Amino acid sequence: MKKSIIYIFVTTTIISSACNDRGSEEKIISGIETSEKEKIISFTIDGETIKGKVSTQYFGSNKETDNFSVLCQQDEPLVLLQATFANEKDAAKSGLTPKGFNGYKVNEGQYDLTLTPAGGTESFVATDKTEGAIRVENNAVVINNMKLFNREGKEKVVNGTIKF
């Protein structure tokens, strides 16, 4: 009986604290600070319009030096488009080069643009063969005719302005 009461108390406390956190805009999970906004934006993949929510992420504890990311997520069907930069200041520089399939960390002077299309298990990324342009200005990632490739060499073309 005591175990049942303790179990109910712990469960109620966890549910209550989880529900109370829903209004919070910034969350820190495993060293990744995430800011979710209720902005819905759209972008295109090979001419097909995708709509999703935008969030920003900092991978680490120092916003000035750790990787900065803008994520757009459509829930149904699930589509993810993520632009990652060495840090937020570096994102605004021109002449950045694609990181490609080389690990997770994005170094200064690089960017990573990754697309996980609906029903797909393999991502498409910006590589040295990528054509098109990406830039960050006025709190928006602007993507123009970016050709992204999977490991087999198949391509997807992405366009859009993702305001964050």
Per run of 10 residues, the mean pLDDT along the chain (length 164 residues) is 36 35 44 61 94 92 88 95 95 93 90 93 94 94 97 96 93
Looking up tokens 């590589």, which residue turns up? 127
Instruction: Please give the pLDDT value at position 26.
Output: 46
Nearest to 57 by CA among 97, 25, 79: 25
**pTM for the model:** 0.76
pLDDT for the residue numbered 24: 39
Model confidence over 57-71: pLDDT tens digits? 998 878 888 999 999
Q: What is the pLDDT of residue 92?
A: 92
Q: What is the pLDDT of residues 9-36, one digit of tens each?
A: 333 333 333 333 333 344 454 455 555 5
Q: Count Cβ neighbours within 10 Å for each residue of 81-90 and write b for 16 or more, e otherwise.
A: bbbbbbbbeb
* Model pLDDT, residue 37: 52
Helix (H) or strand (E) holding 7: helix 2-20
**Per-residue model confidence (pLDDT) at position 8:** 35
Alpha-carbon gap, residue 75 to 57, rounded angstroms: 18
What single-letter DSSP state applies at residue 14?
A: H
